[in-house]
Structure 1
Amino acid sequence: ELVVRFDYGSVVPWVSRREDGRLELIAGPDRLILDTAVPLHGENLRTFGDFTLAAGQVVTFTLTWTPSFRPYPARFDADAAMAEAARGWEEWSGQFTPRGEWDATVLRSLLTLKALAHFETGGIVAAATTSLPEQIGGARNWDYRYCWLRDATLTLYALMQSGFLDEAAKWRSWLVRAVAGKPENLQIMYGVAGERRLTEYEVPWLSGYEASAPVRVGNAAHGQRQLDVYGEVIDAFYAGRRLGLSPDASSWALECKLVAHLETIWDQPDDGIWEMRGPQRHFTHSKVMAWVAFDRIVRSAEEYGLDGPVAHWKTVRDRIHADICRQGFDAKLGSFVQSYGSDQCDASLLMIALVGFLPAADPRVVGTVAAIERQLLRDGFVLRYDTGPGADGLPPGEGAFLACSFWLADNYVLQGRIEEARALFGRLVALSNDVGLLAEEYDPVKRRLTGNFPQAFSHLALIGTAHNLLEVAGPARQRSAQTSATR
């Protein structure tokens, strides 16, 4: 049975049989072509085919999409196409650099990243889906079919440390193109080709996955101010240099402009890493990543002989560091807090040690990790933050965030708690489905994956933790290297 509805299920196509026997389904700009030897018939705006298979028999169905205004495509050999695709994936996988214990798991995640990458632009979408709910029946349903700058550094580490230099170079090139322009126009996310207008709207005629409404297309977060993306972008360029990517002639001038603009806004409130839809705040993680931007541009200048006002950048870096330690740390709680003046815990604070803001053994970091363990663990997995009433402008409730759980394992590695890190990593990997894929979140009550799927952020975090556990200078170890910044 085949039921085709274009435009998110709202448009019934015009169906006709071509002279060559293929079925053509057209509506507006879209055309599908169904090719099969099975006799077909239509009934109630659906297409049916009845057939019986014996052991060893094969029946092929080929469904091809083309723009409706393009010439009618020629037939192709489905078996040959499948064989060619298999060869391509096998050849690509053959570039993988084996590391040890979790090679199969890491390669599965790398294959996922490759599948989420656009073959022409090099952009890697956050997930292949929209509106799969973070909580079944809930309203936290977002469109993740876009490219987030936040994934940039971890993507470069994951690809380059695994032997995939071409994909890393394509991703860096995509990044340069996407963020080009005025630094004040930097977005947190872009379309797969670098598109900027990602207008969000709801699709009310769809009930949503397991009645989880609304279904959304587009993402309004593209217009938010999230200061952490400046740190992620500058860190990605620094990581590219450190990992051996060929220099990009335009990137240094771009980086200098970005930090010059960041200097004028780092002390302003923003929407934060979790893209909250309530009032803006002075999120501690956002300030930490602003510090990362200045720290990494200083490192790039000093380590690679690049020209810039290094002394001034160091002054700004140290000023941000002092501000965070003064306003983002609560001495009574013994931990850093979600935002200045709050008493809330937040899993993004796990990045403090991972990016080298403070050593993992610093009592303030140890206290923060302990607070997250006390307040945000559910069945051993990490929530992003308390999503209770009024927390973020949305109805309460979501699952444990898998990337944050991997970050906790990374902190364990840096603190020397290796057995705890290995145990947590093993439990996280065990959440994968039958083909090794992870979603964004996990519901510890219903014991199921939730959120968009498969999720690049989860697989990037998995690769990073595997590398950290294998002690191959993984991203946590490299990003947390000591700096000359004030401690």
Structure 2
Amino acid sequence: MAEALTTPQPDLELWPIGNCQVSGLIDEAAGLVWGCVPRVDGDPVFCALLNGGQQQVGVWRFAIEGQVSATQHYERNTPILVTRLEAEDGSAVEIRDFCPRFERSGRMHRPVAYVRIVRPVAGTPRLKITLRPMKGYGAQLAETTNGTNHVRYLVGPQAMRLTTDAPVGYLLEGRSYRVESDQHFFLGPDEPFTGNVRSEVRTMEAQTSRYWKHWVRGLHIPFEWQEEVIRCAITLKLCQHEETGAIVAALTTSIPEAPGSERNWDYRYCWIRDSYYTVQALNRLGALDVLEKYLAYLRNIVDAAQGGQIQPLYSVMGVGELNETTAAHLAGYRGMGPVRVGNAAYQQVQHDCYGQIVLPTAQGFLDQRLLRMADEHDFAALEAVGEMAWKMHDQPDAGLWEFRTRQEVHTYSAVMCWAACDRLANVAKQIGKPDRADFWSGRAAQIAAKIEQEAWVPDDAGGGHYGASFQSDYLDASLLQMVELRFLAPDNPRFQATFAAIEKELRRGEHMLRYASEDDFGLPETAFNVCTFWLIEALHLAGRDGEARKLFETMLGHSTQSGLLSEDLDFETGELWGNFPQTYSLVGVINGAGLLSKPWSEIR
């Protein structure tokens, strides 16, 4: 007799669902183990992922008696997840999970809601439902009240209401029962559900499917690795909080970068840097809707700064104060706390953000496809950002890796400040402001000269490499971005020398470290996935396409079954670590596929 399937130990084999308002992560056994309301940075009412293995609370799970297997896939070109649970006697159910998203009444309907449909597909399955949301970051179970066909969960100042045509009594008591027909579950706002739940939920599913398939249809994707690129693009879009346009770095908090490292950070906020890379990748696919909404978010950030310092990150609502605390009632991923809420990096100085504001915003002046083209007022605001880039290009900061105990003049930050001035000059030329073009070109040239003078580390043999900062000679993988930012050409001898030094110092087999020197928490223990993708790009630029393709395929092989990646990877075991799904890593997949794929013209 087959052994029944047990509840799995938490891992990153997770399947995101969402609608650009709320999101959730489903594990391999049909458990909704992570989901925050009323938005991505809210209270995780589903928090079993970070509950130290206590997976019977903070979860919404379906299971069948005698269950021995679970298989999963997304409906093609959508974030609608299909899970099949099968029992030892051959009986089975299919579960369809999604968050509604479709146009209604002239606007996008994206409620704070999770929808689950259970269908018996073989034999006589007996279903058990565990639905136990929590509140206060795992402090206590949500209190319940119920009616004939609904259950109210008091998850904080507000409540959520489950409307269903399943037996409410069985659900509340956690009893198994025989499933003989499709059952529909809508967990959403605390208000009466209008219409027949069966027909309404099925209509929502059809409309949500249609929306996503049409969105994907408009993407310009490479010929090779189409499925991987589409999945990454959909997931990046799910990381946008559509109400404001903010893009979060990941959907989770406090998945450690390495086991027991306490490198546990809350990534449910909008980093200016991460968002730049996200919109850059999606823009290459033609997903202008994400760019347009993000540019609106940036305009609000720039307005609020009033020409002064801009923080490296903000909340999805544009709030700057993100005080870092710990959730005392959550033990953490596999018990590896702390679980952090908020991120003290908002207090840091990171000068690269000025370039990362100018670069995507510049497209607003040049791209005729946009619904709203940038105007004179936008250029004046952008020049204020450029002024800060000029002012700060040679000043110490925490750098893109957010060192908490030291500051230096980081080369990457200086290059980004150069890019801000360089792109302002480009925009000024295009919009008929030759005097401003000369002004910003001059400033860009001065910053470039400073970088060449201060960042180059000569060696005794007459060569050398760029250093990670003006004050040191250690290497940093972000230096590989000097070509992507057009600061250097790929054949520049200094870049080639730096690439060779980085590959020798930071490469660990098929993976790449951010840096190899000690930081606030000691030596890095895992590879940083986006840095491996930067290595792949550099190999391609060096004409080493065979190596680049092999390494790219290796990275894809580390993806979860859902086709996604987290932030970090153990370069010895191959296990994924860090917050999930990580936008940086998904950007790497999209960019790598675009660089390495055979062109469509060769196939047609």
- TM-score, normalization: structure 1? 0.88
- 1:87 Cα offset (Å): 1.7
Query: Counterparts of 1:201 and 1:234 in 2: how far apart (Å)?
Result: 32
Query: Counterparts of 1:306 and 1:191 in 2: how far apart (Å)?
Result: 35
Correspondence 1:324-339 to 2 at 5 A: 324-332=451-459, 334-339=464-469
Q: 1:334 to 1:387 in 2, by over 3 A?
A: closer
In the other structure, the counterpart of 2:176 is: 50
Code of the residue aligned with 2:500 in structure 1: it is A
Q: 1:248 to 1:275 in 2, by over 3 A?
A: same
Code of the residue aligned with 1:280 in structure 2: it is Q
Query: Counterparts of 1:238 and 1:471 in 2: how far apart (Å)?
Result: 30
Code of the residue aligned with 2:360 in structure 1: it is A
Query: Counterparts of 2:173 and 2:537 in 1: how far apart (Å)?
Result: 51
Q: Specify the SS of the correspondent of 1:34.
A: strand
Correspondence 1:348-387 to 2 at 5 A: 348-386=478-516
CA deviation profile, 1:4-63 (whole Å, cap 9, x unmatched): 211211133221122x431112143131223334445599xx851321346xx4333332
Deviates more, 1:28-37 or 1:320-329: 28-37
Correspondence 1:171-210 to 2 at 5 A: 171-181=294-304, 182-210=306-334
CA deviation profile, 1:377-419 (whole Å, cap 9, x unmatched): 123111111253xx2x224434211111111111222222222
Uncovered stretches (5+) of structure 1, i.e. residues with no partner: 473-487
Code of the residue aligned with 1:457 in structure 2: it is Y
Aligned CA RMSD, in angstroms, stands at 2.3
In the other structure, the counterpart of 1:11 is: 140
- 1:2 Cα offset (Å): 2.1
Alpha-carbon contact 2:359-2:420 (below 8 Å) kept: yes
Code of the residue aligned with 1:196 in structure 2: it is G
In the other structure, the counterpart of 1:479 is: none
Code of the residue aligned with 1:237 in structure 2: it is T
Q: Specify the SS of the correspondent of 1:32.
A: strand
Alpha-carbon contact 1:221-1:275 (below 8 Å) kept: yes
In the other structure, the counterpart of 1:123 is: 246
Deviates more, 1:254-263 or 1:310-319: 310-319
Query: Counterparts of 2:298 and 2:453 in 1: how far apart (Å)?
Result: 34
Q: 1:267 to 1:455 in 2, by over 3 A?
A: same
1:103 paired with 2:226, answer: yes
Query: Counterparts of 1:243 and 1:410 in 2: how far apart (Å)?
Result: 26
Correspondence 1:68-467 to 2 at 5 A: 71-74=191-194, 76=197, 77-181=200-304, 182-244=306-368, 245=370, 246-249=372-375, 250-306=377-433, 309-332=436-459, 334-386=464-516, 388=518, 391=519, 393-467=520-594
Q: How many corresponding residue pairs?
A: 460
Correspondence 1:25-44 to 2 at 5 A: 25-40=153-168
Q: Specify the SS of the correspondent of 2:152.
A: strand
Q: Specify the SS of the correspondent of 1:49.
A: coil
Q: 1:259 to 1:221 in 2, by over 3 A?
A: same
Q: Specify the SS of the correspondent of 1:183.
A: coil
Code of the residue aligned with 1:17 in structure 2: it is N
Q: 1:202 to 1:306 in 2, by over 3 A?
A: farther
Q: 1:161 to 1:266 in 2, by over 3 A?
A: closer
Deviates more, 1:126-135 or 1:406-415: 406-415
Query: Counterparts of 2:364 and 2:588 in 1: how far apart (Å)?
Result: 18
In the other structure, the counterpart of 1:475 is: none
Q: Specify the SS of the correspondent of 2:211.
A: helix
In the other structure, the counterpart of 1:484 is: none
Q: 1:3 to 1:442 in 2, by over 3 A?
A: same
Code of the residue aligned with 2:479 in structure 1: it is L
Code of the residue aligned with 2:215 in structure 1: it is W
Alpha-carbon contact 1:10-1:205 (below 8 Å) kept: yes
Alpha-carbon contact 2:249-2:275 (below 8 Å) kept: no
CA deviation profile, 1:260-315 (whole Å, cap 9, x unmatched): 23322222100100111111111111111111111111111123324653333233
Alpha-carbon contact 1:335-1:364 (below 8 Å) kept: yes
Query: Counterparts of 1:179 and 1:451 in 2: how far apart (Å)?
Result: 30
Query: Counterparts of 2:337 and 2:155 in 1: how far apart (Å)?
Result: 26
Which structure carries more helix by proportion?
1
Alpha-carbon contact 2:224-2:598 (below 8 Å) kept: no
Alpha-carbon contact 1:38-1:49 (below 8 Å) kept: no
- 1:240 Cα offset (Å): 4.3
Code of the residue aligned with 1:190 in structure 2: it is Y
Uncovered stretches (5+) of structure 2, i.e. residues with no partner: 1-129, 600-604
Query: Counterparts of 2:173 and 2:299 in 1: how far apart (Å)?
Result: 46
Query: Counterparts of 1:42 and 1:98 in 2: how far apart (Å)?
Result: 47
In the other structure, the counterpart of 1:476 is: none
Deviates more, 1:111-120 or 1:148-157: 148-157
